[in-house]
Structure 1
Amino acid sequence: MLLAIEQGNTNSLFAIHDGTSWIAQWRSATEPNRTADEYAVWLSQLFAMNGLSLKTLDACIISSVVPQSIFNLRNLSRRYLGAEPMVIGENVELGIPIRVGKPSEVGADRVVNALGAHVAYPGPLIVIDSGTATTIDVVAADGGFEGGIIAPGIHLSVEALHAAAAKLPRVALRRPNHIIGRDTVSSIQSGVFWGYVGLIEGLVARIRQERQEAMTVIATGGIAALFQGATDAIDYFDPDVTVRGLVEVYRRNA
């Protein structure tokens, strides 16, 4: 069985695939200094709760945008799975062209998302990943990564607003009942939520205008579900884009 690890700046996803389907998925806060032994203890407890054992794993693939964590994740695979992990960006063949000026600068998560979306949806695509940053990337009909847009994530915007304005409180993210806020909290929630809806709608429209082609829009990431039903700019909400891409990379390289 395969352990797929997708590590972002804020959260990390650990998923188990048996070659046919996903067996289990867990999220944790990303801690760059967490050791391989600490990962193993945490995973062992989760495995036991699901009637699994680390001994059933024999392969691992890692996608991380946190370079200082890769050493410990690699040791986790070597020490507790007895397997040399595949690491995106380190001599792993993705099988899709990356059509940007400096391919080495493209985050592993963005390229894996492009592949995960391409194998599930036909035609040119726009892939929106809502996390620490909001990325909006273009995938050609042949699966090629065409570049995209990086904007601050919605959580980052909330924290920055609270940190920079002494009288503005930290608020929970939610879809407000009205556009016009009647107090400070609802005003912030409306500005953040509908502001990001406007960001998505505006950038999707501009990408389509620039590309001059019909494009399917896929939203993924831990926060994407927050916008479900709030905009017609998104065609599909798919939380498994990244892990699907990781499995596809593993299949192409195993």
Structure 2
Amino acid sequence: MGNFTVVLVDIGNTRTKLALSDGESLSSVVELPTGEFDSHLLSKPMDAWVLSSVVPPVGTVWTELLSKKAPGLTLKKVDNFDITFDVRKKAEVGEDRLADIEGAFYLGLKPPFITIDFGTASVINLVTPQHEFVGGVIGPGVMSSYECLTSKAALLKEVPLDVPEDLIGRDTKTNLESGFILGFAFWAEGFYARLKKQYPDLSAVLTGGAAKIIHQVIDFPAQYEPHLSLLGLLRVLELNKHLL
């Protein structure tokens, strides 16, 4: 695409991911707390932008700022996806889920597949062989539930969690690692195993902050892509250039 420059913005509940792209790959990926803004990035020349948000007030501010620089797309207003929808309430489908699903298509995954996002919430999305998004699973997030527990249990202090060496912890830190790292790995494995019976060719991709550790201990084949949602925004751009 030559000198084409697109800004990608994925606004999550607690973190916002930003990236520059030439329309084909990512560069200059940064993260910042949701609600903060990157004046350096906003000062750069851009030809287009793509934004997803699960925090509407913050998404509105970003949209207004970016619209002063270039034409752009928000996931709530685009009309082309790699999927059709077979859910009860399409309007309730979060833009983050659409970004993850399109990121899987960007990576070349062929349906049926699931995306598993270990972010503020733990979210599974299922796409069937017919390219239908039929829903998924929303559960507690690894770190949000961990922080909740340590804030309410007087004798449990928040410590960094690492890859557990054993199934059974031998001190408080390793007990917590077994409970949260292995516990959420088992959560993902359980859903994968049951869905695999229904869809024998099922593939999977993991993303989200805690996936950096969890993908090392799961016992089913899955790709790990830390920037899945941003890659999904690139795929959305490819499918919806006519709207710019």
The answer to whether TM tops 0.5 is yes
Partners of 2:40 and 2:15 in 1: how far apart?
15
Partners of 1:182 and 1:23 in 2: how far apart?
42
Please point out which of 1, 6, 18 is paired with 2:10. Answer: 6
Give ranges in structure 2 of 5+ residues lacking alignment: none
What SS does the aligned partner of 2:185 have?
Answer: helix
CA contact (8 A) 2:116 2:207 kept: yes
Partners of 1:198 and 1:229 in 2: how far apart?
12
Partners of 1:77 and 1:69 in 2: how far apart?
12
What SS does the aligned partner of 1:205 have?
Answer: helix
User: 1:41 corresponds to which letter in structure 2?
Assistant: S
* Counterpart for residue 44 of structure 2: 54
- Would you identify which runs of 4 or more consecutive aligned residues in structure 1 move more than 4 Å? none
* Counterpart for residue 15 of structure 1: 19
The one-character-per-residue Cα deviations of 1:76-103 (angstroms, maximum 9, x if unpaired) are 2123x2x233111124433521110001
Please point out which of 177, 182, 191 is paired with 2:165. Answer: 177
* Counterpart for residue 74 of structure 1: 63
Equivalences for residues 95-134 of structure 1 within 5 A: 95-119=82-106, 120-134=108-122
**Percent of matched pairs sharing the same residue:** 32
Please point out which of 73, 76, 80 is paired with 1:89. Answer: 76
Number of residue-to-residue matches in the alignment = 236
The one-character-per-residue Cα deviations of 1:113-166 (angstroms, maximum 9, x if unpaired) are 112213411231011111101111111234321210011110011111112222
Structure-2-length-normalised TM-score: 0.89
RMSD between aligned residues: 1.8
User: 2:77 corresponds to which letter in structure 1?
Assistant: E
User: 2:194 corresponds to which letter in structure 1?
Assistant: R
Please point out which of 53, 65, 78 is paired with 1:64. Answer: 53
CA contact (8 A) 1:40 1:76 kept: no
CA contact (8 A) 2:82 2:105 kept: no
Partners of 2:62 and 2:89 in 1: how far apart?
26
* Counterpart for residue 221 of structure 1: 208
Structure 1 residue 208, shift from structure 2 partner: 2.2
Partners of 2:56 and 2:29 in 1: how far apart?
22
Structure-1-length-normalised TM-score: 0.86
Residue 201 in structure 1 maps to residue 189 in structure 2: yes
CA contact (8 A) 1:3 1:61 kept: yes
User: 1:24 corresponds to which letter in structure 2?
Assistant: S
* Counterpart for residue 155 of structure 1: 143
Residue 25 in structure 1 maps to residue 29 in structure 2: yes
Give ranges in structure 1 of 5+ residues lacking alignment: 45-52
CA contact (8 A) 1:130 1:153 kept: yes
What SS does the aligned partner of 1:54 have?
Answer: coil
Residue 146 in structure 1 maps to residue 150 in structure 2: no
